[in-house]
Amino acid sequence: MAQTMGEDGRFGLDRRTKLLGPVRLDSGVQFAPVEFAYETYGELNADKSNAILVCHALTGDQYVASTHPVTGKPGWWTRLVGEGKPVDPSRHCIICINVLGSCMGSSGPASFDPGTGQPYAMDFPVITIADMVRAQAILLDHLGIERLACVIGGSMGGMQALTWASLFPDRVQSAIVIASTARHSAQNIAFHEVGRQAIMADPNWQGGNYYGSVDQPDAGLAVARMAAHITYLSEAGLTEKFGRQLQDRETKTFGFDADFQVESYLRYQGLSFVERFDANSYLYITRAMDYYDLAEEHGGVLAKAFQGTRTRFCLVSFDSDWLYPTIESKRIVQALNAAGAAASFVELSSPFGHDAFLLDAPEMNRIIDGFLKAGGL
């Protein structure tokens, strides 16, 4: 990655900072102080007009384009972010912040409550997508970045991008919203509730006070991840990848071992997830997503969330995404049209379901590249 911002310690890889805040949460709580874990790539130009905020999804983190410290895997969006990519540290100053409530260094249920010296656990306040965005705004103030040339995100990252444009229209020149929605549907909430119940039904969860305990709610968190993971894939994708193939065996065992490849795959997804994620964070962030309905505070009229906006919008959906299907993006487009906003939208074809935005998607990259360049980036 490019050399970052010379001697300025606020910029660079794996940054941590604690700010006074407070963040005024939707619940009414004034949350302070606020810890931030974030990364920046590339240099902020002289007139500070090249800042791009990348927002991560539910279980994502700030390591958008650098190696994950726990898994050792490359950054989660290196297909889009990196030298020669549409979001390019040689041209852009890229910021990615671990969201409030998460577990990779920003304030969340696993971080220490300065009042007690213990992890917050379930004393951490319930947060919303807007709270995450307000917290990010505090960090950007600290970085001296008033205006974002673009806010970009997929899935929950897209919710943040929309919320940024709605809460801070003057700070957001353009927003790219991929495979996302303006509200969680009953089905979305239902799947999340399955995950939360799996965690809370695990006796090792211990009412959320498992920090420091030998017994961790790994089984519950793994099941939550397994259920969620199914929603990120498409039926056709699963069929193509696994079909009814058996795992390392010739015949069915007439037992409850992972006979099928798809079972084995899901178990692996669940087990590897618990290595890098905190069960309570999973509760808090899924709650934030379920509470998300951008139109709610505008009398149910989504267009009012964007009234008078000068932000340029680009929306992308994928035809096999049944978690946040195209119809949800079209609802947003309809609202943007009604608000007279400059909006672009395209539905791309992919067999990979919701996860398509994280995978090889050359047409998505072409659109993002063109959209950013058309905005002078």
Partner 1 sequence: MTALRPDLAVIAETIPTGARVLDVGCGDGALMAALRDSKGIDARGMEIDPVNVANAVTRGLAVVQGDADTDLADYPDDSFDYAVLSQTLQTTRRPDLVLDQLLRIGKQAFVSFPNFAQWKIRFAHMFGGRMPVTKQLPHRWYDTPNIHHVTIDDFKSFVEDRGYSIEGEWYLSGEKRRGAGLANLLAEHAVFLLKR
Q: Which residues would be at the binding site for partner 1 (CB under 8 A)? A: 312, 314, 330, 333-334, 337-338, 340, 342-349, 363, 366-367, 369-371, 373-375
Q: Where are the alpha helices (DSSP H) in the chain?
A: 129-143, 156-167, 186-201, 218-232, 235-241, 261-274, 279-290, 326-338, 362-374
Cβ at position 311, least distance to partner 1 in Å: 11
Residues 200, 203, 208, 214, CA torsion sign:
negative
| Cβ closest to partner 1, residue 251 vs residue 349 | 349
Tell me whether residue 68 or residue 331 sits nearer to partner 1 (CB atom): 331
**Active-site positions?**
155, 321, 354
Q: How far is the CB of 369 from partner 1 (least distance, A)?
A: 7
Measured CA to CA, the distance from residue 94 to residue 66 in angstroms comes to: 12
Q: Which is nearer to partner 1, 263 or 369 (CB)?
A: 369
Of 97, 192, 107, the closest CA to residue 152 belongs to: 97
Helices 279-290, 129-143: crossing angle, 10 deg rounding: 100
State the nearest-atom distance from the C-beta of 210 to partner 1, in Å.
Answer: 47
**Considering the complex, what minimum distance in angstroms separates the CB of residue 340 from partner 1?**
7
HSE value, Cβ hemisphere, 13 Å, CA-based, for 12 = 12
How far is the C-alpha of 309 from the C-alpha of 340, rounded, in Å? Answer: 8
Q: Which residues pair with 97 in a beta bridge?
A: 38
Residue closer to partner 1 (CB basis): 131 or 328: 328
The single-letter code of the amino acid at 129 is: I
